[in-house]
Amino acid sequence: MRQSNLFTKTLKHVPKDEVAQSAVLLLRGGFVYKEMAGVYSFLPLGLRVLSKIENIIREEMDSLGGQEVVLSALQNKETWLPTNQWDDKNVDVWFKTALKNETELGLAFTHEAPLTKLMKEYISSYRDLPKYVYQFQTKFRNEIRARSGVIRMREFVMKDLYSFSKDLKEHESFYEKAKEAYYRVFERLGLGDNTFLTFANGGVFAPFSHEFQTVCEIGEDTIYLNEKAKLAINKEVFNDEVVENLGFKKKDFVEKKSVEVGNIFTLGTRFSDALGLVYADEKGVKQKVIMGSYGIGPARAMATVVELFADEKGIVWPETIAPFKVHLLALGDSERVREAAEKLYKDFKKAKIEILFDDRANAGNGEKLGDADLIGCPWRVVVSEKSLDNNTAEVKRRREAKAEQIALDNVVGICKT
């Protein structure tokens, strides 16, 4: 894409109330636009990153046998009464609204209840199980505070998968597979080294739920990390009994701030019980369906990547989710530079390498170099008078300090690796 055509520009200033570094960089880079606290719109560069994250997650959910749906945001009271989730006294994140005839509606903050109700239409026999259903769907959560930028939003797309199993054994087998898929997702997003399986409150039906916590200063969670064992315990269950049951001692753990980038949860029969989702087993006896839920917020993962890898100059995207792999800069406005850069741009496109081409006539060299650092594409290729004197372009990885002069004919090949 030509940067001269991109409608966004990098910004020097961002809203004063923005404290999260990731939000500041995403705003300055033109990835997102702030509508109000906790509500952001996604601009072309941001949407590209988000779509790549979603596609990685989608591939892994499909590999688990997941089937994709999109449920509605608008919700009837009746769906949520059986699980005691309608009353604002029990759930404090509802946005409520109403039809013209004053029928009260809610905007879904999660989808266990509506999906359980939906599945009653389709599950009646043991033959119908197990089933795995997921969506990328916009959740609305009326958070009192929204000070973490894109990490905690009032409106955000969530990937939520729900599992429906015949019995606990079938459930647990899937739960372990889902855990592995989550490891793969965070590895592919570039968060693998900093993300730890974390034991958290399990509710009524399991001793624990499992969170995927990324160690990160801005995090709103507190975990106790055993880096050697590659696991952590959420503060809420970090006590002698839990630590000992897991075979450790309290002193094996270090307190850390972290961002919850994913969680998996055994719901057991809470929802199938309340909403009557049962199946007939091989003997015709009615049994309750065992459920699990599995969430990841793509935009939160995006912001966490920014928090972790950004340097003083800007964002540093991993190749897997970068808006473009290569940022090509034409420095100076000579005909010679323009022609050489145009040729490279064509060659990159021919090689099907995603490229952002800073072809702006009215931007200075410093501005172009600064923008490239801020936007954070993995490879920067600079064509200038000086480089052309040697028939080269300067090639530099965003995450490295060193730049190299590469013969023009070899530039595309180098960036391909």
| Residues contributing to the site for its own copies (CB under 8 A) | 5-9, 11, 30, 33, 35-36, 39-44, 47, 65, 67-76, 79, 95-100, 105, 107, 114, 118-119, 121-123, 127-128, 131, 133, 138, 140, 142, 144, 154-155, 362
d(CA 231, CA 253): 9
Q: Which CB, 159 or 398, lies closer to its own copies? A: 159
Q: Which CB, 224 or 271, lies closer to its own copies? A: 271
Residue 415: CB minimum distance to its own copies, A: 24
Residue 65: CB minimum distance to its own copies, A: 7
Q: Which CB, 82 or 202, lies closer to its own copies? A: 82
Backbone angles phi, psi at 17, to 5 degrees: -80, 5
| ∠ Cα 99 102 106 (to 5°) | 55
Quick one: tokens of 58?
A: 């989608």
Residue 390: CB minimum distance to its own copies, A: 33
Residue 391: CB minimum distance to its own copies, A: 32
Quick one: tokens of 323?
A: 């808006």
Residue 142: CB minimum distance to its own copies, A: 6
Residue 130: CB minimum distance to its own copies, A: 10
The string of DSSP letters for 158-221 reads EEEEEEEESSHHHHHHHHHHHHHHHHHHHHHTT-GGGEEEEEEE--SSSSEEEEEEEE-TT-SE
Q: Which CB, 124 or 222, lies closer to its own copies? A: 124
The answer to whether the CB of 209 falls within 8 A of the CB of 263 is yes
Q: Which CB, 19 or 36, lies closer to its own copies? A: 36
Residue 196: CB minimum distance to its own copies, A: 31
Using CA atoms, how far residue 385 sits from 334, 401, 407, in Å, is 8, 22, 14
Q: Which CB, 79 or 213, lies closer to its own copies? A: 79
Using CA atoms, how far residue 273 sits from 67, 91, 201, 237, 289, in Å, is 23, 19, 21, 27, 8
Q: Which CB, 93 or 168, lies closer to its own copies? A: 93
Q: Which CB, 75 or 272, lies closer to its own copies? A: 75
Q: Cβ neighbours of residue 127 under 8 Å, at least 6 residues apart? A: none
Residue 132: CB minimum distance to its own copies, A: 8
d(CA 112, CA 160): 9
Q: Which CB, 128 or 187, lies closer to its own copies? A: 128
d(CA 278, CA 331): 67
The answer to whether the CB of 157 falls within 8 A of the CB of 299 is yes
d(CA 363, CA 381): 17
Residue 42: CB minimum distance to its own copies, A: 5
Q: Cβ neighbours of residue 145 under 8 Å, at least 6 residues apart? A: none
Q: Which CB, 119 or 381, lies closer to its own copies? A: 119
Residue 242: CB minimum distance to its own copies, A: 33
Residue 144: CB minimum distance to its own copies, A: 5
d(CA 32, CA 99): 31
The string of DSSP letters for 328-352 reads EEE-S--HHHHHHHHHHHHHHHHTT
Q: Cβ neighbours of residue 304 under 8 Å, at least 6 residues apart? A: 22, 151, 191, 214, 216, 259, 261
4: left (phi over 0), alpha (psi -120 to 50) or beta: alpha
d(CA 261, CA 352): 31
Helix axes 44-63, 298-309, angle to 10 degrees: 110
